[in-house]
Amino acid sequence: MFELRPWLALIFRRPGRLVLGGLLILATLLSGIGLLALSGWFITETALVGILLAAGVQASVNLYVPGGGIRFFAVSRTVARYMERVYNHDTVLRLLTDIRVTLFRELAAANRAGREHLSGPQWLSRLTSDVDALDTLYLRLIAPTALALVVILLLALMAWLLFDCAVAAGVLMVTLLALVIATLAVYLVTRRASSRQSDRQEALRTAVVEHIEGFGELRAAGRTGRHGAWLLRQAHGMNAEQARVESRVGWHQAVSQLLVNLAAILALWAGYELFRADVISGPVLVLLPIAILGLTEVMTVLPDAFGKLGSTIASARRLNRDTASDHPPIEIPAPPEGLALQASDLAVQYPGYAPVVTHLDMALAPGERVGITGRSGSGKSSVADTLAGLLQPARGTLARLPCAYLTQQTVLFDDSLRANLRMGCSTATDGDLWRVLEMVELAERFAREPDQLDSWLGNTGSRLSGGEARRVALARVLLSPAPLLILDEPFTGVDADTRARISKRLERWLDGKTLVALAHGPDALPATDRVIPLG
């Protein structure tokens, strides 16, 4: 289970919250057990007194102390349960934040080569189900198991104090065996099946998302029925394996509960012998067996949690693999004084493929504007990725100032216009946003919207046309205070007249900044000082 080590280390960074949360759970358990045990004692005591009084024997019972104890345990159990739920759910949300922040930080630190081997649906699985499998490790596994062990030891101590050492040893052995069966035994018999189940679930989720995304193509090819039937077969197979896992968990849960009941019967039998020997009273006789039965509250949740531990370990294994530092971040040094960018004998190549560009030499002075043109497939975007630091140069050296990069693909987030633009500059004022929108000729468009800057753009900018989405992405990059801008196909989807007007405004906006713009031809570039053709 070494796959869980980095995530457990992350969870245990909050020891104070974990201990306090565990104590609240323990208070809830002990209040429940105390309520059961004291109620059993009180009922037995009043029944015996009633029988004696009916037989004409003088007897009495103190109703106030045990009655007050019962009320105390009832109230404390309710209060502890409420506080435990509120506090531990807050703890779980904090742990989820820690896990996600750590995961995002590691993903952001790695270069793109370390992330591009997974598809979108697979990343969706990593960021949702795999992360969710880790955030409840404490609440489902660690805390219940530790507290079950604590309660078992307390019950054994109670048996030793009220009965004798032999009874305490017997109760301890039987309840520990029940704990082992409910935890370790369940994990051992389900770990492989649960791990396979996790992998199959991810594969099925990926296939379903791809089916939805490619529904139009499948329908055009007349393959929707066959592909849908294949998905159903995969789902039925996964459900069958899930049923086998649940069956094993159920049997182990039944055995563990049987052992807990057996421990209660053992305590009752041994207590009866002590009662016959006048060592203990009748009410004390029923006190321990009922307290042991209270152990079922925590033992019930353990088999299901450990039945899913194999799946949790599989999730951790995938996250560890996909966040491994096999591809360290690309470090680009600052250029010599008097230059904004310098590339010497640069070769651009994707791993496993032939170089797309070789012997590229560039030297840009601060404020210089250079265009790079070439036909489709000539390597323009690869050069842009390399200059921006997303792709490691295959050969040569690269140095530049900090940059802002407009990728060839338009990326907008399911958020407001304001939030999307401020990703380029978090300190931008509303006036700055309107000015950059005016420059890309979108100010009038959003001024007509009821929410204006708070207009929702939709998933990947679905509420905008292709040209509008491209201009929003361009505006976001132009807001950046970076001294170097790299614009890959900045006017995709923009008509020639609009492109010409924006290009004129760009000359003033980019005053003092260095620009590298890439396009298929010079007419798709903003104003530049020189043009470098590729291919």
| 3-class secondary structure per residue, 410-445 | CCCCCCEHHHHHHCCCCCCCHHHHHHHHHHCCCHHH
Reading the block at residue 143, the tokens are 């805390």
- pLDDT for 398 beyond 60: yes
d(CA 120, CA 138): 29
Percent of the chain with pLDDT over 90: 11
Split at pLDDT 50, 70, 90, the class of 78 is very high
Coil, strand, or helix at residue 391?
coil
What are the structural domains, with CATH classification, of the chain?
2-324 (1.20.1560.10), 341-533 (3.40.50.300)
Confidence label for 245 from pLDDT (cuts 50, 70 and 90): confident
The predicted model scores a pTM of 0.70
Determine the Cα–Cα distance for residues 245 and 253; give it in Å rounded to an integer. 12
Q: What is the mean pLDDT of the chain?
A: 83
pLDDT at 531: 82
Is the pLDDT at 82 greater than 90? The verdict is yes
- The length of the chain is 535
- DSSP per residue, 431-499: HHHHHHHHHTT-HHHHHTSSSGGG-B--GGGTTS-HHHHHHHHHHHHHT---SEEEEESTTTT--HHHH
pLDDT at 87: 92
- Residue 114 reports pLDDT greater than 60: no
- pLDDT value of residue 327: 59
State the number of CA atoms in the 13 A half-sphere of 518 facing the CB: 24
Identify whether the C-beta of residue 424 lies closer than 8 Å to the C-beta of residue 480. Answer: yes
Q: What is the pLDDT of residues 406-451, one digit of tens each?
A: 888 888 887 888 888 888 888 888 888 888 888 887 877 888 878 8
| pLDDT value at 109 more than 70 | no
Report which of residues 147 and 328 the model is more confident about: 147
Phi first, then psi: give them for residue 527, nearest 5 degrees.
-60, 130
Task: Give the per-residue pLDDT at 113.
Answer: 57
Average pLDDT over residues 132-140: 80
Q: Is 529 helix (H, G, I), strand (E, B) or coil?
A: coil
Average the pLDDT over each of 252-256, 291-295, 317-321, 462-466 and give the range with the smallest value: 462-466
Res. 239: pLDDT tops 80: yes
- Predicted pLDDT at 118: 67
Q: Is the pLDDT of residue 12 over 90?
A: no
Of 51-60, 178-187, 325-334, which gets the smallest average pLDDT?
A: 325-334
The residue with greater pLDDT, 155 or 203, is: 155
Query: What is the arithmetic mean of pLDDT over 181-185?
Result: 92
Helix ranges restricted to H, 277-370: 282-293, 296-299, 302-307, 309-322
